[in-house]
Amino acid sequence: MEALKPRKRLAIFISGNGSNAKNLYDFFDGSPTVEVALLVSDNKESMCYKWALEKQKTTYFLASKDDLSKESFVHHLQEKRLDLIVLAGFLKKIPRLLVRVFDQKIINLHPSLLPKYGGKGMYGDHVHKAVLAAKETQSGITIHWVNEQYDQGAVIFQKAVELEKDEQIEHLRKKIQRLEHEYLPKVVEQVLNA
């Protein structure tokens, strides 16, 4: 009889409410091949972080941005035997130490078609406002490998969506979120099974 392979272990980093993180939990719930092993948040008020605590999921709270660079945090992540870290609305820059230790094991979800509208300060509605101000005809999502620069790692996946002539930010936000919820879990699964 063939031995069961251990499930691939995933960590999710969040700063906001964590709708993409919750979507990943739901997608991999009961999966024989992937488990969400850890949720890391730098926001105690995040709805997903509160949900994870309530459901007794394994969590880690980053009390300060310096925690990301601490060897104790890196060691904690290593102990979890992670196969992949997903930045799903995590706003802090990933330090060199983490990028080195988890080389080609960290991916980021960005709410635009990179290289447009990436970089420091370009997240959430800041991105959507810039897209609308530039009168773009398309926006979308990019999932990419994380390196030491904001939003500059190699692209894994992009999906575009058409914009209306009078596109409003609320409508654009919903369009992008639909793409994120549909494609992020599939891409994570593909990366883990590659």
User: Does residue 110 carry a catalytic annotation?
Assistant: yes
* Spatial distance between the Cα atoms of 187 and 168, rounded to a whole number of angstroms: 28
What digits encode the pLDDT tens for the residues 15-29? 999 999 999 999 999
- Identify whether 14 is part of a domain: yes
Low-confidence ranges of the chain (pLDDT < 50): 1
- pLDDT value of position 3: 56
- pLDDT value of position 194: 83
Range of the domain at 105: 8-113+143-158+184-193
- Identify whether 188 is part of a domain: yes
- pLDDT value of position 65: 80
- pLDDT value of position 34: 95
Catalytic residue among 75, 76, 110, 128: 110
* Spatial distance between the Cα atoms of 184 and 121, rounded to a whole number of angstroms: 22
Handedness of CA 75, 37, 35, 123 (dihedral sign): negative
CATH number at residue 99: 3.40.50.170
- pLDDT value of position 117: 96
- Identify whether 15 is part of a domain: yes
